Amino acid sequence: MGALAFEDMGLRPEILRAIDSMGFTEASPIQSEAIPVMMSGYDLIGQAQTGTGKTAALGIPVLEKIDPDVKNLQAIILCPTRELAMQITDELRRLARYMHAIKILPVYGGQEIIKQIRPLKSGVQLIVGTPGRVMDHMRRNTIKMDHVHTVVMDEADEMLNMGFREDMETILEGVTGEHQTVMFSATMSSVIKDIARRFQQDAKIIKIQKKELTTDNIEQLYYEVKPNEKEEVLSRLVDMYQPKRSVVFCNTKKKVDLLVNELLSRGYGVAALHGDLKQAQRDRVMQGFRNGSTNILIATDVAARGIDVDDVEAVFNFDLPMDEEYYVHRIGRTGRAGRKGRAFTFVTKREKYKLKTIERYCKATINPANIPTAKDVANRKMELVFEEINDVLQNEDLKTFRKSIKRNLFDTEFEALDVAAALLFLNTKKTESQKEDSSRSSYDGSGNFGDTGAVDEGMVRLFVNIGKKNKAKVGDLVGAFAGESGIPGKEIGAIDMHEGYSFVEVPIEHAHKVITSMNQASIKGKTVAVEPASTKRF
């Protein structure tokens, strides 16, 4: 089926008006195929990737079927993460902006449940939620399925990967009346097929062709590297291309943490995003990425689901993805909304065969590229300086600066070219000096710290060489910090425990005392080493 105009789908005038205000001109392939099928009432399995217009494809027919005069819950959309739930809710609210009697509510863990119960009691027709929180509400009887006529499972494969199968099946079993069941998934695993057999009837299957999985807007390159060279190559590429925002993908949470610390030590503004972060921390990380205070996000595949940032200029596959579909999801973070993007993939010699598999799957060519030399990077930095100089020469009034130069250098033996070279030298040295300053991650006695991510106001983050492998628990850290330093345990903030180390947030005013006292202590028989991991002064 070719691309359809939304006007030809028999949609409500209110939805057509919203679509027009959002700037959509014609339906994407998944929208052209899925919307008419869902509006006809058929069960559906849609295999589509991120960035194909999937949210509107499932959201428009759901909104079409909702009766504004009925205040009961009529439709549920399940998705794997809080971020995706909020993203879908935002887009549905834009699509329903002229349907004034429609109430849409996101429900997810990490938010106080009472904040969700109040609007549920007042009447909500459409819920977008994570399986665990929807189950909580079903047990409390604050979500009732009596009038539900549509259930959509978005990114069903990821919900299964995250262990939600039992919750998904319980929710589907709870919808007892006549209803439509829709699944969208990037992959068609045997588990997806099993759920389809149990809970769908004569489902229509829509699959976007592989030729549409990637886009010409994305330049795809690969670099053959040795495993111990990856950090250096990543640094050079970031310095060479200077992306305003970029996402670096690793296959494990441990690799994410190690890479964050390595790049911080090199002076880059980075933050981690993976499953060990609490929801409040994830929110702070994403806020920093969106507002530009963090320009490099290092993430695992599952944690990155639901990220909706259009102006990501580059994606780095630091680790080659385990599955072809993950490659598509990853590079789909860049080249959005008609913008150009770049995808850089690091491949070891033994992994090159996997790259060929990815190329065959995507029907795309991933071109080899040469690793920039240190000289290439230095030349690029100077090019950027000259670009800034040309911009200043063309757009700024330099009379005052000319007078100052004449007054201070007129009688010297140096020519104008010498002065320009000296200024370029100073600019380069200043940039390197700033980078070195920002890379300090250990305590130097002055209260300066390196950073590993966003920290609550008034708190400072400390690195501790005690982790899960030491059989330590959160309570052990709280007890040791409070007992050795004398600060109340309730004043200790967030604690992130990893395999071989942990991060602990403490009030800034107690940081000196904590560092001094803890470095004389032991936990689970291991001598403790504590050092700062935050740029805040105290």
pLDDT tens, position by position, 111-151: 889 999 999 998 999 999 999 999 999 999 999 999 999 99
Contact 342, 367 (CB under 8 A): no
Reduce the DSSP state of residue 375 to 3 states and report it. Answer: helix
Q: Domain check: are 262 and 352 in the same one?
A: yes
Of 153 and 25, the structure prediction assigns the larger pLDDT to 153
Q: Domain check: are 43 and 142 in the same one?
A: yes
* Inside any domain, residue 289: yes
pLDDT value of residue 250: 93
Q: Decide if pLDDT at 432 tops 80.
A: no
Q: Domain check: are 358 and 244 in the same one?
A: yes
* Inside any domain, residue 247: yes
Which one, of 12, 17, 7, 19, lies nearest residue 66 by Cα? 12
The arrangement of strands across the sheet holding 296-299 comes to 270-273, 296-299, 246-249, 314-317, 341-347, 218-224, 367-368
Q: Domain check: are 247 and 364 in the same one?
A: yes
Q: Domain check: are 361 and 221 in the same one?
A: yes
Question: What is the token pair recorded at 29?
Answer: 């392939």
In sequence order, which residues have a C-beta less than 8 Å from that of residue 125 and are 6 or more positions away? 66, 67, 68, 70, 71, 72, 73, 74, 75, 102, 103, 104
* Inside any domain, residue 537: no
List the single range of 163-172, 175-184, 358-367, 422-431 with lowest mean pLDDT.
422-431
Give the mean pLDDT of the chain: 82
How far is it between the farthest Cα atoms of the chain?
93
pLDDT tens, position by position, 63-74: 999 999 999 999
Q: How far is CA 372 from CA 273, 347, 351, in A?
A: 28, 16, 21
The arrangement of strands across the sheet holding 75-78 comes to 104-107, 126-129, 75-78, 150-153, 180-185, 44-47, 204-207
Give residue 285's domain range: 213-372
Q: Domain check: are 231 and 97 in the same one?
A: no
Kind of pairing between the strands at 522-523 and 526-527:
antiparallel
* Inside any domain, residue 446: no
Q: Domain check: are 79 and 183 in the same one?
A: yes
Kind of pairing between the strands at 459-464 and 502-507:
antiparallel
pLDDT tens, position by position, 368-422: 999 999 888 888 878 877 777 887 778 878 788 777 777 776 666 667 777 677 7
pLDDT grade for 50, boundaries at 50, 70 and 90: low
pLDDT value of residue 429: 60
pLDDT tens, position by position, 219-243: 999 999 999 899 999 999 999 998 9
* Inside any domain, residue 447: no
- Last residue of one domain, picked from the residues 323, 345, 372: 372
Which one, of 98, 119, 97, 116, lies nearest residue 108 by Cα? 116
In sequence order, which residues have a C-beta less than 8 Å from that of residue 233 and are 6 or more positions away? 223, 225, 346, 371
Which one, of 2, 181, 166, 158, lies nearest residue 76 by Cα? 181
- Last residue of one domain, picked from the residues 346, 372, 398: 372
Q: How far is CA 291 from CA 3, 28, 31, 264, 459, in A?
A: 35, 30, 31, 19, 21
Kind of pairing between the strands at 270-273 and 296-299:
parallel
pLDDT value of residue 337: 65
Q: Domain check: are 218 and 267 in the same one?
A: yes
pLDDT value of residue 447: 31
pLDDT tens, position by position, 314-335: 999 999 987 777 788 888 888 7
Contact 524, 439 (CB under 8 A): no
CA dist 466 and 229 (Å) reads 28
* Inside any domain, residue 445: no
Q: Domain check: are 105 and 118 in the same one?
A: yes
Q: Domain check: are 386 and 421 in the same one?
A: yes
At residue 408, φ and ψ (nearest 5 deg) are -95, -25
CA dist 166 and 183 (Å) reads 16
* CATH number of residue 489's parent domain: 3.30.70.330
Q: Domain check: are 63 and 194 in the same one?
A: yes
Which one, of 374, 528, 417, lies nearest residue 466 by Cα? 528
Instruction: Give the pLDDT mean for 249-261.
Output: 88
Token pair 């005038």: residue: 13
The arrangement of strands across the sheet holding 530-532 comes to 495-497, 502-507, 459-464, 530-532
pLDDT grade for 434, boundaries at 50, 70 and 90: very low
Which one, of 525, 524, 519, lies nearest residue 463 by Cα? 519
Q: Domain check: are 47 and 92 in the same one?
A: yes
Q: Decide if pLDDT at 45 tops 60.
A: yes
pLDDT tens, position by position, 456-496: 667 888 888 888 888 888 888 888 888 888 888 778 888 88
* Inside any domain, residue 449: no
CA dist 422 and 71 (Å) reads 72
What is the domain count for the chain?
4
- Last residue of one domain, picked from the residues 163, 186, 208: 208
Which one, of 364, 31, 321, 334, lies nearest residue 214 by Cα? 364
* Inside any domain, residue 538: no
Residues 375-378: contacts with CB under 8 Å, at least 24 apart: 376/236, 376/240, 377/236, 377/239, 377/240
* CATH number of residue 232's parent domain: 3.40.50.300
Q: Would you tell me the crossing angle of helices 165-174 and 190-199 to the nearest 10 degrees?
A: 10
CA dist 132 and 261 (Å) reads 33
